[in-house]
Structure 1
């Protein structure tokens, strides 16, 4: 299993972005932490579709990696989480490609277990990538509380994929393939439930693709959101 499960946006205006996400995407915040321990950011989490998530982080302390990233690159996609079955099967490939693990987590949660490998953004490019395991796999246990009560699908029905821009999109695609183990086809990373395309453009710029009730394009927190009705 390799699923696109989570996108994190980094912003300097969390209240304004919360209002836009609630109004324009029709999402409901299921969790909020004023400061994530060890990261120096606030965290607001919104279910997207039946079982995926959008997170909004904002630095609350100077000198953190998130604060430096925001100052250097501005608002945008900060982290992408892929759900895997077993983290150990990924380690040999990461070592072979020289992709460093900058943080590891493995801890019991209220509803099960969560484990993750955070990969060094200098080795992957464009965003911090994370490989996560959730037990049970159908319930992303890192989100505390009854998040399913906050699922809203009146506007957005699911997360369909992501487009990542860079000055060398082919090299970026190869790095993400090495990081995740997902196959590449026609310049796109093929996951079990989504597609990540790589386009020429400014490094770090991203477009989020959403299945929705109606077609619409939005700019939220330095990210282009493309809402489209699924084709049958």
Structure 2
């Protein structure tokens, strides 16, 4: 309306204006051209502002649409996995859109029978149960006070999937040789620290227990003059170990 009035005013001024000379007409046309150019610039500025505002509104609407789409997919996934189809149909049948308030609403639930709900016979079981019966059912396994789960069945044992560890079998000859080698000596060795003995290196005094008829006598000892060289002891142990190794190799090969 304002633009129409301005247009009519300009046309009336143009008709009423009379120019005395060509210079006056040129000046009037120049002023009118400047006025129109300024109006053009203002219109362009207004168009730029409107375009920027439109872009911002479009971005906001796109973001809102993405958020609503994500929320809708989440709600649809929850309904599909956690709500039964029957309950879903009931809610959809009650839902309606209110044009006045621009929201979705649910119609009130209408009972078909029109009567009150049936009072439950018991809060914890399917039949009326006294307090004494509940206590007895929790303490005793007698099915007299139970309306369900009257049989208590033990758990089925699982099939064993492992077995006990059994050590390797050793041949009797190898076991006897190892036992003979690992058995400690029955000899009592005592070191003679006298001056005569210290002058002889690698000499020790050995007092062996006397053996009579295959039995040892704890009280009997050899005279302190008997001496045993360490080299002889080492050689005897080497011979015993070599015998054990031969026995083990013989068992492994054959």
The two structures share one fold, judged by TM-score above 0.5: no
Larger CA Rg, structure 1 vs 2: 2
More strand by share: 1
Range class of TM-score, shorter chain = under 0.3
Higher RCO (Cα < 8 Å, 6 or more apart): 1
What's the TM-score, normalizing by structure 2? 0.14
What's the TM-score, normalizing by structure 1? 0.15
